[in-house]
Amino acid sequence: MRATLGLLLGLSAVGLAACGEEGSSGTQAPASVSGTGCAPVAGEKLVVLDDDKKLQNADNIIAAINTKAADPALVAALDKVSDALTTEKLVQLNKAVDVDRKTSKVAAEDFAKAENLTAGIEKTKSGPIKIGAADFSESATLGALYEIVLDAAGYDASVQTIGKREVYYGQLTKGDLQVVPEYAATLVDFINGAVNGKDAKSLASGDVDATVTALKDIGGKQGLSFSKASKAFDGNAFAVTSEFATKHGVKTLSDFATKCSGKDTVLGGPAECPQRPYCQPGLEKTYGIQFGKVLSLDAGGPQSKDAVKKGNASLVLVFSSDGSLG
């Protein structure tokens, strides 16, 4: 669902890196596992299980704004986008671009029309506003949505694809860019690392309100303001097939833990999954899930999705806003 930068953003947020070799078999089996568990069930549609105990950090979409440009009318226009976005709608936006092959501009225009996004925005402002977007499709689409609402407010908004956060962050704080679509947990830890060193304790958590409060505090000192955080979350998630979910009656990871912990349960994820706190160890510690086997696959990509669809894995790591989930 994301281009290279987007993949790195997601992985840096959760501590996963590019996949390496896990061994000749590509599997890892724990020394001892109790319980029967739930064997994989093949199917064509994937269902993301709700992370009800907040294992993953709150990477909710939020607009980062250079404070000098943060006029109340500008912030209110960007809040309209945040109010309209949910994870499910973000999946559909990504599907429109990544699967249906619409441009980000067209997908944003269709969404804005369907959601009546510009209703109530008064055209009272003027002047140029430069929106920076990272070089993956989701960021471009979010930038296009920001352009629509800011144009409706009277600004002359434009979107410029910049690239990596290390590049556009400096342009944003200097005022060369005025607005950038961002991810709350990833951004707060990026700023924290830049200010307090790479070993600084994480300010992010699964609590979106606490994460955004920390972001506003540390970001405000760097000359940044922010829109509301949307309900749309783009980060690591775990999915089963819809057939598996129906058979075992699971909607949340807590459901999965109650019904499917045991030797027949197969987890699929990147090679680092058995060592990373937001993958297998996190599932074990936060939810108490035990797995009989762990498959070494890619990070939320076609290998992982094929493994669960073909009945080789019970549960796999995916990205929550992946357009192929729509």
How does pLDDT run across 126-166, given as a tens digit for each residue? 999 999 999 999 999 999 999 999 999 999 999 999 989 99
Q: How confident is the model at residue 112 (pLDDT cuts 50, 70, 90)?
A: very high
188, pLDDT greater than 80 = yes
Mean model confidence pLDDT for the chain: 91
Range with the poorest average pLDDT among 24-38, 73-87, 279-293: 24-38
For range 22-42, the mean pLDDT: 68
What average pLDDT does this structure show over 244-269? 98
pLDDT at residue 90 greater than cutoff 50? yes
Please tell me whether residues 47 and 73 are part of one structural domain. no
Q: Is the same domain home to 105 and 164?
A: yes
CA dihedral angle for residue 75, residue 134, residue 113, residue 98, rounded to 10 degrees: -160
Share of the chain above pLDDT 90, in %: 88
The residue segments making up the domain with residue 217 are 60-233
Please check the confidence at residue 119 and state whether its pLDDT lies above 70.
yes
Domain shared by 181 and 113, yes or no: yes
Q: Do both 193 and 239 map to the same domain? A: no
CA distance 104 to 188: 26
Model confidence band, residue 30 (pLDDT cutoffs 50, 70, 90): low
Considering the domain architecture, whether residues 92 and 228 belong to the same structural domain is answered as yes
Residues 29 and 77 in one domain: no
Q: What is the pLDDT of residue 19?
A: 33
Query: Is the pLDDT at 320 greater than 90, yes or no?
Result: yes
pLDDT at 326: 82
Give the pLDDT score at 183: 98
Q: Is pLDDT of 3 > 80?
A: no
> What DSSP line would sit under 119-187, residue for residue?
TT------SEEEEEE-SSHHHHHHHHHHHHHHHHTT-EEEEEE---HHHHHHHHHHTS-SEEEEEHHHH
Q: pTM for the full model?
A: 0.89
How confident is the model at residue 282, as a pLDDT? 97
- CA–CA distance, 113 with 36 (Å, rounded to integer): 50
Do 167 and 282 lie in one domain? The reply is no
Model pLDDT, residue 5:
30
CA distance 113 to 127: 24
pLDDT of residue 178: 98
For 195-240, what is each residue's pLDDT tens digit?
A: 999 999 999 999 999 999 999 999 999 999 999 999 999 999 999 9
Same domain, 114 and 201: yes
CATH of residue 240: 3.40.190.120
- Is pLDDT of 288 > 80? yes
Say if residue 145 is in the same domain as residue 285.
no
Does one domain contain both 158 and 102? Answer: yes
Choosing from 200, 233, 266, the residue where a domain stops is 233
Answer yes or no: do 83 and 189 share one domain: yes
Residue 291 and residue 261 share a domain = yes
Assess whether pLDDT exceeds 80 at residue 253.
Answer: yes
Q: What does the pLDDT read at residue 163?
A: 86
Domain limit, last residue, from 210, 233, 256: 233
Tell me which of 213, 233, 253 is where a domain ends: 233
Q: What is the mean pLDDT of residues 67-95?
A: 98
CATH number of the domain enclosing 195:
3.10.105.10
Number of domains in the chain: 2
Element at 179 (helix H, strand E): strand 179-183
Computed on alpha carbons and rounded to an integer, the radius of gyration of the chain in Å comes to 20
